Copies of this chain bind each other. A is one copy, B any other.
Amino acid sequence: MTITITAFENAPDRGRGLARDMRVRWALEELGLPYATRLLSFDALKAPDHLAFHPFGQIPSFEQDGLVLFESGAIVLHLARHHPGLLPDQGDARARAVAWIFAALNTLEPPIVECTMSLLFERERPWFAERQPMLDQRVRDRLQQLSDRLGCDEWLDGSFSAGDLMMVTVLRRLGSTHLLDAFPNLLAYIARGEARPAYRQAFTDQLAVFEAASSATKPTADR
């Protein structure tokens, strides 16, 4: 019955909760499900035994009773379908909540990842100054549409759902930019997500992993 997920042994975001295990941890906390974590180094991600679990060599993966899943969206949806708390009971409302999971992952996340990866890895390239405004604008367009839809509501469609959980984690990737500043309702929406006890527990747990790895690898002279 034990649920085991995989996560980075040493997260590249330095414990800011931006790695995709955060989504699964948060969902597990919302649902009150205990779980174990198997930590993987970057080398281990590409090793055959992990590729047998996750064909694309990423985190997170999910194991329970012989079922192995990958893709954070699929894992969160699977958990939400089998335990009450993250999807409405009524069929149509449930389908709409699932649509927001897909919107977060397929309509918001790709331009956000493209924009933030360029900021991280292409800043020194000769094209950065000309190209980045285009990437920023694509993200702004999507944020404007999301902001218009959210309006003054607390969550995207009725009560907090797996769709909101996914959207908040996707929007948090913009934390190192100023792109959200123009959208106070989205900032408040993210803050509402981050204030949930389940979010805070998940955040604390992933940060503890990073801090343990960090102190283990710190040179003796620094201690």
Interface string of A106-148 (1 = CB under 8 A from B): 1101100110000000000111001100000000001001101
Interface string of A71-111 (1 = CB under 8 A from B): 11111011000000000000010011011011101110110
Q: Which residues of B contact A127 (CB under 8 A)?
A: 125-127, 131
- Nearest CB of B to A91, in Å: 8
Q: Which residues of B contact A103 (CB under 8 A)?
A: 55-56, 70-71, 74
Indicate if A34 sits at the interface (CB-CB under 8 A): no
Q: Which residues of B contact A67 (CB under 8 A)?
A: 92, 95-96
What's the number of copies of this chain in the assembled complex?
2
Q: Which residues of B contact A57 (CB under 8 A)?
A: 145
Instruction: From known contacts A106-B105, A127-B126, infer whether A99 and B113 are also in contact, taking CB-CB under 8 Å.
Output: no
**Chain A 41-57 residues near chain B, CB threshold 8 A:** 51, 55-57
**Chain A 128-176 residues near chain B, CB threshold 8 A:** 130-131, 142, 145-146, 148-149
Cα-based distance from A73 to B74 in the complex (angstroms)? 12
Cα-based distance from A187 to B127 in the complex (angstroms)? 35
- Nearest CB of B to A95, in Å: 5
Closest to A68 in B: B96
Cα-based distance from A219 to B148 in the complex (angstroms)? 39
28 A-B contacts (beta carbon < 8 Å)? A55-B145, A56-B103, A58-B107, A66-B92, A67-B92, A67-B96, A69-B99, A71-B102, A71-B103, A71-B106, A72-B102, A73-B102, A73-B106, A74-B95, A74-B98, A74-B99, A74-B102, A74-B103, A75-B99, A77-B102, A78-B95, A78-B98, A105-B105, A110-B113, A114-B114, A125-B127, A126-B127, A127-B127
Complex A-B, nearest 5 residue pairs according to Cβ-Cβ distance, in ascending order: A127-B127, A74-B99, A71-B102, A55-B149, A110-B110
